[in-house]
Structure formats: structure tokens, C-alpha cells
Structure 1
Amino acid sequence: MPRPAPSPSLPGHLQDLTDRARGYVEAASSANTRKAYASDWKHFAAWCRRSSLPLLPPHPQTIGLYITACSSGTAERGGKPNSVSTIGRRLSSLSWNYTQRGQQLDRKDRHIATVMAGIRNSHARPPVQKEAVMAADIIAMIETLDRSTLRGMRDRAMLLVGYAGGLRRSEIVGLDVKADQTEDGRGWIEIFDKGMLVTLRGKTGWRQVEVGRGSSDATCPVVAVETWIRFAKLGHGPLFRRVTGQGKSIGAERLNDKEIARLVKRAVVAAGVRGDLSELERALKFSGHSLRAGLASSADVDERYVQKQLGHASAEMTRRYQRRRDRFRINLTKAAGL
């Protein structure tokens, strides 16, 4: 993140406000987002140096050439063509970085917008969807985990909460034991007799997800979380942490969200899910997103409830997650009299 230019000496109370304002700026985006923005800016700066083009101020022609280089794989030495989604993210990163430097990048300028439209038309493909883990799959997956170890308890809780809550991997590891306990937390849990309330902070604000108790303690996400908290002796801070000391100690730092993807891949292979595929093929087809897709594909309830649970703004987005739904259950042709 760029540092603001040094300001003249300020009275103490104004300096306090300045420091607080800087904290709010950082809080406006997640640490992962800021890291990605910094990486993209570094990538762009390196390309400008090699191309003998000025980095500042923002020139639409320069940006147009840069995204063309990204799409063709020439933006870095030995590079590969970037996907349309990656180029779109790089544009967002440049816009944000220029704004932090008090300058504006006009993404609607024809040198940028027209080139970007051409890239989309030429290279855009339907998104590659990860395969969903269904109810029977998730039950088989948790059965491969040792219930008697801390790591097994933690992993069972993460899989079941991620599945039942339809949570993103970053939302799973971003949970705290209770409200407002850490600066980097993305939410917290509250446990009640009938289930668990998960409060999450997303890109568009706060939302709450209800995770009800299951029909069996062996597959209940709430029981799994309660068991993990009890044996890990957690009372404060991140909910899901690294297990250290040969599986006997609990670390203080929260897990990285990539651990969720690794856990899903390992458990899928161990449980024999999609045994018709090779281990490599399964590693490519399944990820942390498979939990979210699994809930959307398995829950036999009104689509509105699934949409609310996943936090989607539209039903169309929810349908993209439903891998095995009957697309013709509602037949408008017959309903129209044909």
C-alpha cells in the first residue's frame, strides 16, 4: 500500500485523527486484496520500465498497451497470457493504486474500454466450475478424519461448517470465537440451542448465516464446532488455527484460506469421491468452492433460502452453483399452453 506524502506538523488531536483515518483506509479492503493490489502495481511498474513508458500520470494509451501485453503473454519475461478475469483484476488494481496517489484512471476511455471489449470478445470463456461435494460425499469425507485428534476435530468442523453454511474458504478461516476479538477477523459465531448464527463481513456489508443443528451428532456442524472449541480450549481470537507440536498444541494465528482447499482435496481423495478420476484430476476438479456448490446443489428447499444462505444478490448467481439441479423442473413451455 502506498504511503501518503509526509504532512506538516499537526496538533496532537489532528495527528490522532490522521492516524485513525489511515486505519479506516486500510480497513476498507481486506489484507489479501491490498496484497493483490500491491502485486499488480509492481507488475505494471516493471512492465513500464521495460517498455520505457512513464508510470505517472496515468495515460489511457499506456494502460491499453499494458492489458494487450497481458492478454498476449508479453507483459513479463517468459510469461503466459492472462485470463480475462485476471486482466480485469489488474485494471481494478491500477485504478485503486492511482486513486491512492491522488490521480484518476478513466477506465471508460476508448483506449482502455475498446481494447478490453476486444479482449473479452476474443478470449473470454465460460468460467470453469469446481465440482460440488454432495451430502453423501461430505459424510464420507469427514469419516476419513480422526475424531480423537485435535487436527481431526478442527478439520471436521471446517468441512461441516463450510458445507452447511455455504461459506467461502476465506469466510471459514476468517471466523472468530466471539464478536470483535481480532482486527483481521471477518466474522464470528454464536451458538444457541437450535443452531449457530454466523455473522460475516463481506464486500457489500454484513450478513448473517443460520446453521441449524443436524439430525445426527456425527454429522452436525454445530456439534463439530462445539467439540473443537472444547478440546482446543478456545475462548478468544481466531476460531480455526494451526495445530502444532505433533498435533498436541494450538497455535495463536488463524489458518490461511488455502488450507481449506488443501483439506477438501485430501478428503475427497481419501474418501474415494469420484473414484473414476485420477488423483490429479480430482485435485483439479475439487477445491474449497466445492463446499459452497455442494450446499447449493444438495439443499432441497426453495431457491430463495439457498440464495440468502450464500449471500447472492440474484437467483441467477445461485443457479450457477447448482451443479446437479433439474433445469427443466419448471417447464414454461407447458405452462404457456404448448
Structure 2
Amino acid sequence: MPLAPKTHLPNSPPALSAHDRDALHDLYVRGTPQNTLRAYERDLTYITAWKALRADQVGSKPVLCWPEQEDIALMFILDHTRDLNKAPNDDPARQVAEALIERELRKTLACPAPSTLDRRIASWRAFHRMKNLESPFAAPLIKQARAKGRKAAARAPAPKSAHPITREVLEALLATCDASLRGVRDRALLMLGWASGGRRRSEITRLMREDVSLKEFQCKGLIWIQMVESKTTSKGETPRLVLKGRGAQALYHWIEVAGITEGGLFRAISKSGRALPRNLSPDAVYQIVRKRLALAGYPDGFASPHGLRSGFLTQAALDGAPIQAAMRLSLHRSMAQAQKYYDDVDVAENPAADLLG
């Protein structure tokens, strides 16, 4: 588990001993999801680099202040709510952006997506809360500037996967999985990721053998999965998920041939074709989906691992499954979010769309 930088931690009361401060540090690390810790680290690196470059231009202190100055917070919003491709070469914001691109902390001069800016500001505000300090982003002028910037930069949200991996696409991917250990693993991973409700990459790679119950497989063909947590559920609150039919058979086969009795469920495979103790990383799931799509003849970029999630809900809608039933497996917290997949199917099947013939 990554260790949280000291910036992530609250200011400890002076009376705390060194041992208690370490315990507080450990508490915040254990109580914060790993994905959030990684996002904090990325955002802190970006914000620190941006301010160090911008501070030279405005005569401000190069390091982050606690609490941060309001003019710096406002400047951050202004620099990230316009397309700097249209700015002159001597524009301070453009110069900083070009330097960030050279450091590979920024991709282009284009205006970042509002969601990206929102996340970075949310991280910055979280750092203040952890230090028991008021954030400058709560100031009325800055709040209004952020709202105006969000409207000015509004754009249609890009889908996390270009296409959903519906049943037809999934079958094509499964057909590329041979009888090798790698093929057995990929088949089980794809089936579990799709049929258990459309699991996220982090949820798939975090699964342990201890999270999977095979007690009802022989008699009922069911495998029960108990995730520790998900993006929308906390530890101890995630309901059990079920895998049945071909999906259960594929997972059982993988567990048997790989000889997995404890530890990570989906593992890296050596060049000699042996299952290693090391868990797959979320990026490995991306590579598996990309490889199987290519082998199935789909163009590069056709879908991402999130296509397993969107494909499950899209197929549920196509098959007429009640949205509440699909959500019990997908663990969507928002009915509106899940409804989007059903709405797309409903529009496509709407007879009014065929009026022209």
C-alpha cells in the first residue's frame, strides 16, 4: 500500500507523542482507498509543480502554503479554464503549461476537462481539511469564478469506453482464449468482470482467493464473491455477488489449474507459463482487454476495461432485465447513472426513430 505523503495528514495536536503521530498517519493511510491515495499523490505533484513555476512570475512563495493564498487559488482556476493554444507565446499561463508538458505532468495546452480541474481542487481542499484549515476555494469570489469556469469549459463527457462490451463482443474475446494457463486466466477474468455485474479493474485485481466461496459450486453451480469494498460501498458494507453458469465454471477451472489456495485471485504468469504469487495490476487488466480485442479483430481503441461494466448494463437493458436487478450486481449507487445505459437502448428501440423508413 502506498504511503501517504505528510501533506495528506492533519496537523497533529502538539501534545501527541511521536508514536501517536505515527498511529494517526497509519490511520489515515488505512482509512483512505488506495485509488484516492494515488489521486492525491498525482494531484499534489501537479499542484506543487504548477505553483513553483507560477511563483517565479508573480513573486509568490514557491512552496504550497497552509492555508494557501486566495490569489494563488484564483490564478489556478484562471489558468485551467481557457484554451492556451489561443494564448500568445509570452502569456504566463501558457509558459507554465508548456513547462508542465515538458515534465510530462500535462498533455496539451487545451483547456482541461472540468472534471479534471474539479478533482484537483477537491484534493487541494482535502489537504486543507486534513490540516484543520479553511480552504481558499470556499471564498465567494473564487467559488463564483469556479462556477463560471465550469460553464465556460462545459463539454459532453467522454465515455470511459468507446464501445460497451456486450455479449456478442465478449463471446468474440472469449473465443481468443486458448487452453494455456494464460488463456484460462483471461477467460475467467473476462467472465467474472462482465457477468458478476461489470467489475472495475481495481475491484478485479483486489480480489483474494479468500473472497471466493466454492461451497455451492458442485451442488448448485454457484460461486459467491465477497468484495471487501468498491467505489460505491465501504468496507463491510459490500453485498455478496454471485457468479453462475459458464462464468462460474471458468473461474473454478482457473483456480484449480493454477493451484490457488490463498492470496491473490488473478495473478501474473511467468514466461514459462507458471502462475506467480504477484497479483495482476489494474494496468494489466487494460492490457488483457486490449490484447483480446486485437486478437478478435477489433480496431485499436474499440473498448477499454470499463466496457465490461457498460456492456453488462447495456446487455441487461437489451435483454429486458429490470434495472434494479442489474444494479444489485453492478453496485451502482445512483439510479440516474445506471439509467443512462437503459436510456440509450430505449432510444435505439423507439419506434418513432423509424418514421422515415
Give the TM-score normalised by structure 1. Answer: 0.81
CA distance, structure 2, for counterparts of residue 197 and residue 61 of structure 1 = 54
CA RMSD across the alignment: 2.7
**What residue is the counterpart of 1:63 in the other structure?**
73
Count matched residues.
Answer: 304
Q: Deviations over 1:68-109 (max 9, x none)?
A: 213345453245232111111101111122233442315332
Q: Which has the higher strand share?
A: 1
Check conservation: 2:267, 2:277, Cα contact below 8 A: yes
CA distance, structure 1, for counterparts of residue 115 and residue 258 of structure 2 = 40
2:81 match: secondary structure: helix
Aligned counterpart for 1:40 among listed residues 32, 40, 43: 43
In structure 1, give the amino acid aligned to 2:230. G
2:193 match: secondary structure: helix
User: What residue ranges of structure 2 are gaps of 5+ in the alignment?
Assistant: 85-92, 352-357
**What residue is the counterpart of 1:29 in the other structure?**
32
Q: Deviations over 1:240-278 (max 9, x none)?
A: 11111x2422222211112222222222222234xxxxx
Cα 1:324–1:211 shift into 2, 3 Å = farther
1:196 match: secondary structure: strand
Check conservation: 2:268, 2:275, Cα contact below 8 A: yes
Please state if 1:172 is matched with 2:204: yes
Aligned counterpart for 1:213 among listed residues 219, 244, 255: 244
**What residue is the counterpart of 2:87 in the other structure?**
none
**What residue is the counterpart of 1:119 in the other structure?**
149
1:313 match: secondary structure: coil
Aligned counterpart for 1:227 among listed residues 204, 228, 253: 253
Q: Which has the higher helix share?
A: 2
**What residue is the counterpart of 1:236 in the other structure?**
262
CA distance, structure 2, for counterparts of residue 320 and residue 262 of structure 1 = 27
Cα 1:207–1:327 shift into 2, 3 Å = farther
In structure 2, give the amino acid aligned to 1:69. D
What is the 5 A alignment of 1:155-194? 155-165=186-196, 166-178=198-210, 188-191=211-214, 192-193=216-217, 194=220
What is the 5 A alignment of 1:1-338? 1-3=4-6, 15=19, 19-52=22-55, 53-54=60-61, 55-56=64-65, 57-72=67-82, 74=93, 75-76=96-97, 77=99, 78=101, 79=106, 80=108, 81-129=111-159, 130=161, 131-147=163-179, 149-165=180-196, 166-178=198-210, 188-191=211-214, 192-193=216-217, 194=220, 195-200=222-227, 201-203=229-231, 204-205=233-234, 206-214=237-245, 220-244=246-270, 246-273=271-298, 279-280=299-300, 283=301, 285-299=302-316, 300=319, 301-322=321-342, 325-327=345-347
Check conservation: 2:172, 2:296, Cα contact below 8 A: yes
User: What residue ranges of structure 1 are gaps of 5+ in the alignment?
Assistant: 179-187, 215-219, 274-278, 332-338
Check conservation: 1:292, 1:321, Cα contact below 8 A: no
Check conservation: 1:58, 1:104, Cα contact below 8 A: no
